Amino acid sequence: MRRDLQRCDVQRRDQRRDQRRDRHCQHRRAARRRPQRGAAIITALVVVALAAVLVSGLLWRQQVQIRRVENQRLGQQAVWVSRGAFDWTRLILRAQADSAAVTYLGGVWDVPIAETRLSDFIGRFERGRGNNGDATFLTGAIEDAQARFNLRNLVAVSLEGRTLNDASLGQFAKLLALLGVDGKLAPLIAQRVLESIPMGGPARGFGDGTGGPGGDGVGLAGAQDADRPLPITSLANLIGTPGVSAEVIARLSPFVTVLPMPTPINLNTASAEVIAASVIELPLEAAQALVANREQAFFLNIGDAQLRLQRFVKDVQLSSDRFDVTTRFFFVRGTIRHERAELTRVALIFRDPRTHATRIVSVDES
């Protein structure tokens, strides 16, 4: 009996030991499973995060491409609006020449356009089919290019060759002195202009028999001599000439320009500084008085201008190749703001003095 009890006790102890061993194994297996389950969750989160980043990147690139296409569309629309504005200004210039043989300040062409909605110009048609220019704004002005001193006048080109024009060089040196710029720059700039002009005889193309873009031996483009400096088409091309800085260019810009051919000064639109420089004997104070007199009544012709000029300086002769009362070259500056796009363009327009037909010579845009 006692042995049976002892045997039962041993069996119970063994059962309890086996149960403890089973529970310990279960705890160990559970402990091993917990880290594996946490790693799987972390891996899933990383995969989801990477997928979200990739998808967001694709969506962002797609949005950028869409915006780029929209900007290109808006830019092209602004270009076409500016082309229409240039055609409109050409009509204005032609109408002015048809109505008057003199180009003077105060005419219709000289009135600048403040920022104006395009729909105010074209009217409101088909109201139910779009804004018709409500989101497009136009700003612009026409400037007389022959109211400034033309650097092309510094060089005389013929079949025999090219040389500096001493009379124009003296006028340019006087203009620099009047503007507070070192007059020693005049021969340096003139030499730079001389070197940039190709050799050769006059060419035709402007419709008045005086040459075209590249005519008169001007050669604003297409120079064949590789050793010759690049042609000068604007004052900015003078950068690099000894003594010419950005400050000098900014000082000269309102009074000096570069045109495709030699041109006379329009006495009806030129400033007092340009007139005083073009007439060597004329002091600046007298030129200012002449401009004030011109504001009362513009010059009808060269003879009228010379008669009034003699009030200030006696025995002055105005030659028709250096002075005029009408203009062939104009600058048209226009800014188009079309929704997000903004475009600024400057066009050089030539007007034939005989037929009054106009055409665009060059366009700079930004």
AA letter at 18: D
Q: What is the pTM of this model?
A: 0.75
For helices 166-178 and 185-196, angle between their N-to-C axes, nearest 10 degrees: 130
Between the alpha carbon of residue 249 and those of residues 102, 184, 199, 256, 257, the distances in Å are 31, 15, 27, 9, 10
Q: At which residue do the structure tokens 């007092």 appear?
A: 272
Per-residue pLDDT of the chain (366 residues; tens, 9 = 90+): 666 666 666 667 767 776 777 676 766 666 555 555 567 788 888 888 888 888 888 888 888 888 888 888 888 888 888 888 899 899 999 999 988 889 999 888 998 988 888 776 665 444 444 555 578 888 899 999 999 999 999 998 877 778 899 999 999 999 999 999 998 999 999 999 998 887 654 444 555 444 444 333 333 444 445 566 678 888 999 988 898 999 999 999 999 999 999 999 999 999 999 999 999 989 999 999 999 999 999 999 999 999 999 888 887 888 888 999 999 999 999 998 888 888 899 999 999 999 999 999 999 876
Q: At which residue do the structure tokens 């590249």 appear?
A: 214
- Spatial neighbors of 109 by CB under 8 A, at least 6 apart, are 89, 92, 93, 96, 103, 142, 330
Its sign, for the CA torsion 232, 236, 242, 244, is positive
Token representation of residue 223: 């120079």
Round to whole Å and give the CA distance between 316 and 290. Answer: 14
pLDDT digits 0-9 by tens, 220-262? 444 445 566 678 888 999 988 898 999 999 999 999 999 999 9
* Domain edges within the chain: 144-198+230-365
